[in-house]
């Protein structure tokens, strides 16, 4: 029985391989900005262990314009078939609507997270991310910086389609 299980595992493992995303651009969505703007997310896999990303969120109406712009750095620390584990850092500047003062304020966001991006077999061009970690934010609503823990599921962290 043990030999049969070992043979099955070896056959399954023989076809499994990590997805090579080097040089591929991921285009998708993220809700990681502290001002709650949905953002366009771009991710470019520079090498087997490093990726660079960007976030851009915008909302404009007749009263005011809100934005969020950020750079994200990814360092892949471990990869498995259809799954990558990474460390990441997000540096963003963004604007907020201050209802008390009836004006727009700007602030920043710095995140340090550990995450994973997974793919389903057969649709490897679609990547779903999960992240957790810490954030330092100046959200413009109060004087000073706040520190928070993060736990972002794939709906909030990011979904990328790789070209």
> Residue 18: what pLDDT?
57
125: left (phi over 0), alpha (psi -120 to 50) or beta: alpha
> Residue 92: what pLDDT?
94
Tokens representing 55 are 């976030």
Residue 54 near residue 68, CB atoms below 8 Å: no
> Residue 3: what pLDDT?
54
C-alpha gyration radius of the chain: 19
Count of residues for the chain? 163
36 DSSP 8-state letter: -
Q: Domains in the chain, ordered, with CATH?
A: 2-162 (2.40.160.20)
Rounded distance between C-alpha atoms, residue 73 and residue 52, angstroms = 5
Rounded distance between C-alpha atoms, residue 107 and residue 35, angstroms = 9
Nearest to 153 by CA among 135, 136, 130, 134: 130
> Residue 32: what pLDDT?
87
> Residue 13: what pLDDT?
44
> Tens-digit pLDDT profile for the chain (163 aa)?
555 544 544 444 444 445 677 778 899 999 888 888 899 999 998 888 899 999 999 988 887 788 999 999 999 998 888 888 999 999 999 887 766 667 778 889 999 999 999 888 888 888 899 999 999 988 765 667 888 888 877 777 788 888 8
> Residue 158: what pLDDT?
85
Rounded distance between C-alpha atoms, residue 130 and residue 139, angstroms = 23
Relative to beta strand 103-120, strand 123-138 is antiparallel
Chain-centroid distance, C-alpha 57? 14
């Amino acid at each position: 029985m043990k030999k049969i299980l070992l043979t099955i595992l070896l056959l399954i493992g023989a076809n499994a391989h990590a997805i090579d995303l080097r040089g591929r651009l991921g285009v998708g969505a993220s809700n990681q900005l502290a001002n709650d703007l949905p953002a366009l997310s771009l991710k470019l896999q520079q090498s087997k262990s490093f990726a660079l990303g960007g976030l851009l969120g915008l909302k404009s109406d007749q009263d005011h314009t809100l934005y969020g712009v950020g750079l994200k750095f990814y360092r892949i620390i471990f990869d498995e078939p259809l799954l990558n584990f990474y460390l990441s850092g997000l540096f963003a500047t963004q604007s907020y609507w201050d209802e008390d003062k009836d004006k727009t304020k700007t602030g920043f966001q710095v995140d340090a997270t550990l995450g994973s991006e997974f793919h389903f077999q057969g649709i490897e061009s679609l990547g779903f991310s999960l992240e957790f970690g810490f954030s330092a934010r100046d959200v413009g609503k109060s004087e000073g910086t706040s520190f928070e823990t993060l736990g972002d599921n794939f709906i909030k962290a990011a979904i990328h389609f790789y070209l």
